[in-house]
Amino acid sequence: MKADISTKIAGVKFDACIFNTSGPADVTLAELEIIARSKSPAITMKSCTLEPRAGNPEPRYADLEYGSINSMGLPNLGYKAYIEFAAVLKRKYKKPIIASICGMTLEDDIIMFNAFNNSQVDIIEFNPGSPNTIGKAIVGYDAKEMDRLLKAVSKVCKKPWGIKLPPYFDLVHFDEIAKVIKKYPVNFVTCINSLGNGLAIDPATEQPLIKPKGGLGGIGGRYAKFTALANVRRFYELFDRKIQVIGVGGVYSGTDAFEFILAGASAVQIGTAFLQKGPGIFNKVQTELQTLMAKKGYIKLSNFRGKLKIL
C-alpha cells in the first residue's frame, strides 16, 4: 500500500503535499493549464498586482549550478485576469486554486482581496514585498509595516489565507514576526521567498548574468534549501501547530520534501526545479517521498511531521 501523502492547507484538502510555488511559469492560462495537467495537486497562480506589469528588463533569469538567480519584477497580467483564469481552471480541473496577491500599495491589496472573495480561488497567499521588485522594500523585514498590512487585510479577506515570508536569519526576527502574525486569523505561512540580492557573475564576459539592479537578484534552488528548512522549523515551533507552515526552497527530490515535513511543513512547494525539470518534477518528488516513507514505515505525513530528533 502506498503511503498517504495527502494533506490539508487552511482546511482545504490536497491529494498530495507537493505542488507549485507562485512565480515560475504560472503567468498565463496556458502555463497554468500545464500545472493543472501535472501531478501537482493544486494550482498556484502568479503573484498579481492591480494593473498588468511587464516586469524588469531582460535578461532577468539565469540557471546556476545549484539553483537559479532572478529579478523578474512581478510580470503578470493584472488581478482581473487571474480571477477569470480561476473560474476556467476550477471548471476544467477541479483542483484547489491558490491566488497570490502582491499589491504595490495597501489600497491595491484591499481592492484585490475584496475581488478574490467572490472568485473561484480556494486559498489566497499574500506576498507582501517581493525581493525582486525595483524600488519596493521587502515588507517582511518591517514588523510595524507587516502589522499594518495584516490588520487591514484580515478585515476584508473572506477566503482562507496565508503569508509568503522572506528568509529570516536572526532568531529575534523570527520572534518579532511570529508575534505580529499570531495577532491575526492567518492560516499558514510559506517559507521562504528567494534569498534577496545575490550576485552571479560570468567570468568569461566579466558581466552579471542578469540585468536588473546591476545584476542583483533572488537566489533560489538548492542554495536556498538550508535557510528555508531553518525558517520552516523555527516558525513551526513558534506557532505551536496553530498556524501551518508550507516549505519552499531547493526541493528536487523526495528526500528534500521529507526533510521539510520533518522540520514541520504541512506541504512543500516547488519553484526552481519546476522551471528546470518540467512538470514531471511533481510526480517524481511525490513518488520518491512515498518510497522513502515506506522504507521508514511511515504511512501518513503526521507520523513524522515536525518530529525532528534534536541532538
Q: Find where cell 518540467 sits.
A: 278
Supply the pLDDT for residue 1.
79
Residue 83's pLDDT band, with cuts at 50, 70 and 90, is: very high
The predicted pLDDT at position 138 comes to: 85
Average pLDDT over every residue of 192-212: 97
Q: How many angstroms separate the CA atoms of 55 and 65, rounded?
A: 25
What's the chain's average pLDDT? 96
pLDDT in tens, 45-82: 999 999 999 999 999 999 999 999 999 999 999 999 99
**Verdict on whether the full-model pTM lies above 0.95:** yes
Percent of the chain with pLDDT over 90: 95
pLDDT band at 137 (very low <50, low <70, confident <90, very high): confident
Distance of CA 275 to the CA centre of its chain: 14
In terms of C-beta density within 10 A (0-12 exposed, 13-18 middle, 19 or more buried), how is residue 76 classed? buried
Kind of pairing between the strands at 67-70 and 61-64? antiparallel
Among 130-139, 254-263, 279-288, the range scoring the smallest mean pLDDT is: 130-139
Domains and CATH numbers, the chain: 7-55+74-195+221-303 (3.20.20.70)
Cell of 139: 515588507
